[in-house]
């Protein structure tokens, strides 16, 4: 059978491609067999840390893989027509439009805006961030954010939640991430917005690569999804 594997984050840079294609004898195999075959063909990723996702579900080494499955190698998470992800620049006009939305029984509208700062590199002094390149496992990311939104609405009893996260290149000074929470009272809105930010950073398959003023770049380490 022929297997196509999607690559993200640091692994994509290591291999130098967005995908890996391998041929496997038989009509199915387990994840460990797949890893062994891939490592023979691409030994440069043997020391990388990553989770394996089959049809958007995290798998273990004994999970079965068959031809036609959607397989992805996902490194730890660093903190089109999508609901939450966008390739378009998030403008100030967009923020104004959100703030002016009508919401009955809302006494609080809280907005978090995350921008790209011109930080100095932690590795090389006097080298500053020029932009950040965000990549995502788009459909899984959308689903995970949707779960976070629905859970936050139920747990904190807020009225509405709006989220936009950039993918692609985001320059210094531009908005990368925005969360807006509409609620009856400030307290539950604050709790919800803090929860959402931390959950998106730790659970949604989005990776970021810092590109510096000297032309060098560095993938940010994150946490492994579970």
Question: For each of the chain's 226 residues, which pLDDT tens digit applies?
Answer: 889 999 988 888 889 999 999 888 888 899 998 988 899 888 888 878 888 989 988 888 889 999 899 999 988 766 534 579 998 899 888 888 877 777 778 899 999 999 999 887 766 777 899 999 999 998 899 989 999 999 999 999 999 999 999 999 999 999 999 999 999 999 999 999 999 999 999 999 999 999 999 989 988 876 666 6
Which pLDDT score, from 0 to 100, does residue 80 have? 39
Measured CA to CA, the distance from residue 19 to residue 209 in angstroms comes to 18
C-beta separation of 20 from 5 below 8 A: yes
For the chain, residues classed under CATH 3.10.20.30 are: 2-74
pTM, two decimals, is: 0.69
Which pLDDT score, from 0 to 100, does residue 101 have? 76
Return the percent helix, strand and coil in the chain, to nearest 5.
Answer: 30, 35, 35
Which pLDDT score, from 0 to 100, does residue 134 have? 95
Question: Which residues 6+ apart lie within 8 Å of 196 measured at CB?
Answer: 148, 149, 152, 161, 163, 179, 181
CA-nearest of 152, 147, 132 to 204 is 147
102 CB-contact burial (10 Å; exposed 0-12 / middle 13-18 / buried 19+): exposed
The CATH class given to the 2-74 domain equals alpha beta
Alpha helices in 67-224 (DSSP H): 92-99, 138-156, 186-203
End-to-end CA distance of the chain: 28
The SS3 of residue 150 is: helix
The SS3 of residue 148 is: helix
The CATH class given to the 85-219 domain equals alpha beta
For the chain, residues classed under CATH 3.90.1170.40 are: 85-219
C-beta separation of 134 from 208 below 8 A: yes
CA-nearest of 215, 179, 29, 4 to 90 is 179
Query: Number of C-alpha atoms within 13 angstroms, CB side, residue 93?
Result: 1
């Amino acid at each position: 059978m022929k297997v196509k594997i999607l690559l993200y984050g640091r692994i994509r840079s290591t291999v130098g491609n967005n995908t890996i294609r391998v041929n496997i004898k038989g009509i199915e195999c387990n994840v460990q067999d797949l890893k062994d075959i891939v490592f023979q063909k691409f030994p440069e990723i043997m020391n990388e840390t990553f989770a394996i996702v089959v049809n958007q579900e995290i798998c273990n080494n004994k999970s079965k893989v068959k031809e036609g499955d959607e397989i992805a190698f996902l490194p730890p998470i660093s903190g089109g027509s999508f609901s939450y992800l966008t390739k378009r620049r998030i403008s100030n006009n967009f923020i104004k439009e959100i703030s002016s939305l009508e919401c009955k029984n809302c006494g609080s509208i809280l907005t978090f805006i995350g921008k790209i700062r011109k930080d100095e590199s932690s590795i090389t002094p006097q080298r500053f961030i020029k932009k950040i390149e965000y990549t995502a496992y788009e459909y899984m990311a959308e689903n995970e954010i949707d779960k976070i939104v629905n859970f936050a609405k139920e747990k904190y009893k807020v009225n509405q939640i709006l989220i936009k996260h950039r993918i692609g290149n985001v320059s210094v000074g531009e908005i990368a991430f925005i969360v807006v929470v509409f609620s009856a009272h400030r307290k539950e809105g604050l709790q919800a917005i803090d929860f959402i930010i931390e959950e998106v950073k730790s659970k949604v398959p989005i990776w970021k690569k810092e590109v510096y003023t000297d032309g060098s770049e560095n993938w940010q380490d994150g946490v492994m999804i579970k």
